[in-house]
Amino acid sequence: RSLEIRKKALGEDHPDIAASLNNLAGLLNAQGRYADAEPLYRRVMVILETRVGQDHPKYASTLNNLAGSLSAQGRYADAEPLYQRSLEIQTKALGEDHPDFATLLNNLAELLKDQGRYTGAEPLYQRSLEIRKKALGEDHPDV
């Protein structure tokens, strides 16, 4: 209901609508309702393409979220290019030493690990750990 009210007030393609849809998709994803979450993530991507462009960190975040949902379903071949594109965007936007970049590396490493591609996953995990140590400190919980 809240989403419908916001759509009437702001319009279907407002960035705040994208944020609400992304949050709803995340909730559905957390409940294992991947088939319900996927079209919402895809709608967010369409809104963000129009409003902020395909090279914006918010777009990268949505790619990452959709990739995570696909990966959770075992749809690794669909998820991997989304993770790769998200990494490309974040590299340009934030650089390779940003904690968000480390998170994306870790997510891609998880996908590779889940497929038994351990030699590909290990350097990504190691690089993610290095970034987090440098950016957050050795004693941070995310390290």
**Distance set, CA 37 to CA 20, 49, 100, 129 (Å):** 12, 19, 22, 30
Tokens of 3: 């989403």
Q: pLDDT tens digits, residue range 17-69?
A: 899 999 999 999 999 999 999 999 999 999 999 999 999 999 999 999 999 99
Contacts of 5 (CB under 8 A, 6+ apart): none
101 touches 124 (CB < 8 A): no
Q: pLDDT tens digits, residue range 99-125?
A: 999 999 999 999 999 999 999 999 999
